[in-house]
Structure 1
Amino acid sequence: MKSRHVTRIIPGRETSDGAGVKLRRSIGAAPSLRLDPFLMLDEFGTDNPDDYIAGFPPHPHRGFETVTYMIDGHMRHEDHLGNVGELKSGGVQWMTAGRGVIHSEMPQQAEGRMRGFQLWINLPAAEKMKPAGYRDIPASELPERRRANGGSAKLIAGSLALDGETVSGPINATPGAMATDPLFVDLLLPAGGSQTLPMTAGHNAFVYVYEGAIRIGEKAIPQYAAGILGDGDQLTLTAGDAPSRVIVLAGKPLNEPVAQYGPFVMNTHAEIEQAIADYQAGRLVEAA
């Protein structure tokens, strides 16, 4: 067995998106900070409604997938296909933009805490122009395994062997079902507690700490930071002096060129220009 170690730490940068929603961006804060197939990771978390109330009014996407994991709060998704989804505490929305989607994500609360993540995952060239679609996954459909030491593991995508039992998330439960074969785990570690996870060698992986702090080998990763991992087939995380929460993400690299302009992610600049032209002409969602 080969343990993964931290090769780089990327602190989350405070920024805003949509109509002024405040967030922290780590992966994807700059083109050099992507990790194939992951394009971007945003964390949002606040008790102040002024930081989120304006939400994300209608906007386009093409060429990738978005994964929204809502830890606290309530957002409504609406898109050009007529879909309406209610994303509530503990739930996930997995959306494939494909050839084009125009959607909005708007808060359905005027006060209280809103906290969660949005992850962007690239699509291979062969799938960038497939029809758009999405799936809402309520908290009740996310398998969670609690440990005797007070820790827990919640699986959103992929499969893991945990304490002698193989657990599969609602997304990508069958290996090979998705080109990027994503793994998405939310871990709670008690103070001083450890968790070892099996990992697929050759897949790119990172962790993001959103409560407390953790250590991987000799490297400490503070709150609000991503730790890029080297290769290996297992990962051991240890919490510091306080309980810690961390998401673990891994995926098969696509090894394809990336051309991005805002909400459009393609393989060439010509394809980006076509996406912009399609959007401006009102045919983004109709392009074949």
Structure 2
Amino acid sequence: MAEVLERDVAGRRAVLGVLAGMPAEDGAGVKLSRVIGQPRLDMLDPFLMLDSFKSDRPGDYIAGFPPHPHRGFETVTYLLHGRMRHEDSVGNAGVIETGGIQWMTAGRGIEHSEMPEQRDGLLWGFQLWVNLPASDKMTAPRYQEFDAEAIPVERRADGTTVKVITGRTREGTEGPVRDVAVAPLYFDVTVPPGGRYVEDLPEGHNAFLYGIDGTLLVQGPDGGETAVAKERLAVLDRGPTLAASVGPEGARFLLVAGRPLGEPVARHGPFVMNTREELLQAFQDYQSGRFLG
């Protein structure tokens, strides 16, 4: 235990800033909160966008996300509650259910739809956009999709649970999503009341926390503690260790990290490339039907 605490103090990550999402609409009018991809945080390389959606009002989500194209990046849909049907231009189809994850690599181009498969009740989840390096932007599209039962949950001695979607925890649990260019971590963490969470992170990775429930305390830029409440995103600085504590109500949060690409980004709507010329080509290819499949 002493060794853990020494490593924690020596290299723990601090919170650089905390922000709330902005109300937004996407698809055919789905109401959501845009957390990354807004004026206060345009991107956090390699993460281009993070949307949070949560509503038990069908009018907020029922119209869904009808067919739309993507090129040059990956979309990650994680459902905490509800059902979402997806179909695409190359014949893939399926349903993401409560606790499930879909990691779609759009690559050179795909057109897909994501439509709620429920007429009422709670729909709650996240969509994260992850950039691809220039060398992978024209790769073939692919999916990695796993239901809740296929995603390992690490149970620590103090009652903390870590649902591991991708990456590897300090205790050795590895998620089922593999072979992603930016070597990401994507953990759904629940810490019991009064608990403490320590995790190793690759030092060069950019990372953030997103509060789902409760409040966690993380070192701030001045050396004191910064509170990260639910529906708030905290950007972390770089270092080998994250250490967080929680109050008497406990906390649940996402921990996401990825290797920054450091490449130029040319983006507009559903396409993310490296140059304006590549972006224009993406629109031309889509309009002429050349990029699908």
TM-score by length of 2: 0.92
SS in 2 for 1:168: coil
Higher deviation after alignment, 103-112 or 28-37: 28-37
Give yes or no for contact 1:10–1:27 (8 Å, CA) kept in 2: no
After superposition, the C-alpha distances for 1:102-148 in whole angstroms (9 at most, x for unaligned) are 00000110011111111100000010011111122111111102234
Gaps of 5+ in 2: 1-6, 220-224
1: CA distance, partners of 2:229 / 2:265: 30
Residue 240 of structure 1: CA displacement? 3.1
Alignment pair present for 1:25 and 2:31 = no
Alignment pair present for 1:86 and 2:95 = yes
Alignment of 1:256-275 (within 5 A): 256-275=263-282
After superposition, the C-alpha distances for 1:45-101 in whole angstroms (9 at most, x for unaligned) are 111111111100000000000110111000011000010011000110010000101
Instruction: Look up the match of 1:6.
Output: 15
Instruction: Look up the match of 1:125.
Output: 134
Letter in 1 for 2:105: T
Give yes or no for contact 1:67–1:92 (8 Å, CA) kept in 2: yes
Give yes or no for contact 2:90–2:292 (8 Å, CA) kept in 1: no
Gaps of 5+ in 1: none
Share of identical aligned residues, percent? 49
Residue 243 of structure 1: CA displacement? 2.6
Instruction: Look up the match of 1:68.
Output: 77
Letter in 2 for 1:200: P
Aligned Cα RMSD in Å?
Answer: 1.3
2: CA distance, partners of 1:237 / 1:116: 23
2: CA distance, partners of 1:68 / 1:108: 15
Alignment pair present for 1:238 and 2:240 = no
Alignment pair present for 1:216 and 2:225 = no
Alignment pair present for 1:45 and 2:51 = no
Letter in 1 for 2:197: Q
Residue 274 of structure 1: CA displacement? 0.8
Number of residue-to-residue matches in the alignment: 279
Taking a change above 3 Å as real, the CA distance of residues 6 and 31 of structure 1, as seen in their structure-2 partners, is closer
Alignment pair present for 1:203 and 2:202 = no
- Please list every run of at least 4 consecutive aligned residues from structure 1 whose deviation after the TM superposition is greater than 4 angstroms: none
Residue 214 of structure 1: CA displacement? 1.3
Instruction: Look up the match of 1:169.
Output: 175
1: CA distance, partners of 2:157 / 2:105: 37
Higher deviation after alignment, 124-133 or 30-39: 30-39
Residue 182 of structure 1: CA displacement? 0.5
1: CA distance, partners of 2:148 / 2:240: 29
Higher deviation after alignment, 144-153 or 4-13: 144-153
Residue 31 of structure 1: CA displacement? 8.3
After superposition, the C-alpha distances for 1:175-200 in whole angstroms (9 at most, x for unaligned) are xx432000000001222221101111
Taking a change above 3 Å as real, the CA distance of residues 281 and 31 of structure 1, as seen in their structure-2 partners, is farther
Letter in 1 for 2:200: P
1: CA distance, partners of 2:195 / 2:73: 36
2: CA distance, partners of 1:210 / 1:178: 25
Residue 26 of structure 1: CA displacement? 0.9
Alignment of 1:102-141 (within 5 A): 102-141=111-150
2: CA distance, partners of 1:112 / 1:243: 26
Letter in 1 for 2:240: D
TM-score by length of 1: 0.93
Letter in 2 for 1:188: T
Give yes or no for contact 2:144–2:177 (8 Å, CA) kept in 1: no
